[in-house]
Amino acid sequence: MQFAAGIPRSAQVPPRCRSLRRAFTLIELLVVVAIIAILVSVLLPALSGARSQARAVKCVSNLRQLGMGFHYYAADFNGRAMPLAYPSISAATDAGGPTFWWGRSSADDVDHSRGFVAPYLPADLKPDGLYECPDQPWGTYIAQGSAQEITSTYGYNGYFLCPPYTPGWSAQIGHRPWQNIDRLRDPARLFVFADTLSALHGGSNNALLDPPILYSSNRWRLNSDPTTCFRHRTRTHAVCADGHAQPFARVDGRMTPGSLRLGSVTAYPDPHYIPDWRDW
């Protein structure tokens, strides 16, 4: 009898047999597929929640930077809050209007570099940039203005901070004082910027933060089209005059019908929108 490496020939496994492997049965394959499906169903909500949280963090960061720009502007202009807009060149040197806090608008384009906060912040025209809330990205709303380009999905509280230079409302409230940030009442709760949207055209961007009630003909009336947007899991994000940014839930403010999630944090303008509204 011959031996190979000390093993009898009869005990050796032919090379062809050694290459064979046991295949999965149909039942085993179905079990593996079922396990994978269960894991995916468990992990997807967690991944979705993580992405949502990342967007929320980025939104708060954007607002905090806008708040810094607001303070830097005031530091250069003797504490004066920046205007929401200069409508024409007659209103300010080199305005060339209309020029808004977020940039200059023309029939052909939007130039963020001319915005009042631009000297203090990077002017970013691309989608999902500094001026855009990640939970309201480009393409999810109708762009206002003839240029149909990105402006901002954050609203500035010009109604209180700079009444003479808040287009659309200045005819009614232009007599109110232009605020100095060193003398603001309750700055830790006063909104400077917040998530906004407009019901116009079924959902368009709006860079003005409206209060829940409006002043007209020496009286206050209900704002039928509020612009505060609660797009972060029923919360809105805002940066306050003291510089901190955070989510805000609705307290006693109302919500308008529809899917745009528009409303106000409180039913009355204080303390977040107009702290001194009762004195008007």
Mean pLDDT of the chain: 87
What confidence score (pLDDT) does residue 146 get?
A: 79
Query: What ranges do the domains of the chain cover?
Result: 58-279
pLDDT band, residue 265 (cuts 50/70/90): very high
Cβ–Cβ < 8 Å for 121, 65: yes
From 36-40, 222-226, 234-238, 266-270, the region with the lowest mean pLDDT: 36-40
20 vs 60 pLDDT, higher one: 60
Over residues 4-25, the mean pLDDT reads 57
pLDDT value at 87 more than 60: yes
pLDDT value at 89 more than 50: no
pLDDT value at 155 more than 70: yes
What confidence score (pLDDT) does residue 16 get?
A: 54
Instruction: Identify residue 124 by its one-letter amino acid code.
Output: D
CA 251, 254, 257: angle at the middle one, nearest 5? Answer: 140
239-259 pLDDT, tens digit per residue, is 999 999 999 999 999 999 999
What confidence score (pLDDT) does residue 162 get?
A: 97
3-state class percentages of the chain: helix first, strand second, coil last, to nearest 5: 30, 20, 50
98: left (phi over 0), alpha (psi -120 to 50) or beta: beta
Cβ–Cβ < 8 Å for 159, 211: yes
Cβ–Cβ < 8 Å for 211, 223: yes
What confidence score (pLDDT) does residue 47 get?
A: 57
Phi, psi of 247 (to 5 degrees): -75, 150
What confidence score (pLDDT) does residue 36 get?
A: 80
What confidence score (pLDDT) does residue 11 get?
A: 54
pLDDT band, residue 53 (cuts 50/70/90): confident
Instruction: Tell me the whole-structure pTM to 2 decimals.
Output: 0.81
Q: Alpha-carbon distance 73 to 84, whole Å?
A: 12
Residue 113's H or E segment, with its range, is: none
pLDDT band, residue 30 (cuts 50/70/90): confident
Q: Alpha-carbon distance 121 to 129, whole Å?
A: 12
What confidence score (pLDDT) does residue 9 get?
A: 56
Instruction: Give 204's contacts (C-beta < 8 A, 6+ positions apart).
Output: 141, 142, 143, 144, 197, 198
What confidence score (pLDDT) does residue 215 get?
A: 97
Instruction: Identify residue 173 by its one-letter amino acid code.
Output: I
The share of the chain scoring above pLDDT 70, in percent, equals 84
pLDDT band, residue 135 (cuts 50/70/90): very high
DSSP-assigned states of every residue in 212-233: SEEEETTEEEE-SS--EE-TBT
What confidence score (pLDDT) does residue 3 get?
A: 47
Write out the E strands in 127-200.
154-156, 191-195
pLDDT band, residue 44 (cuts 50/70/90): low
Could you tell me how many residues make up the chain? 280
Q: Which burial class, exposed, middle or buried, applies to 175 when counting CB atoms under 10 A from its CB (0-12, 13-18, 19+)?
A: exposed
Q: Alpha-carbon distance 265 to 243, whole Å?
A: 19
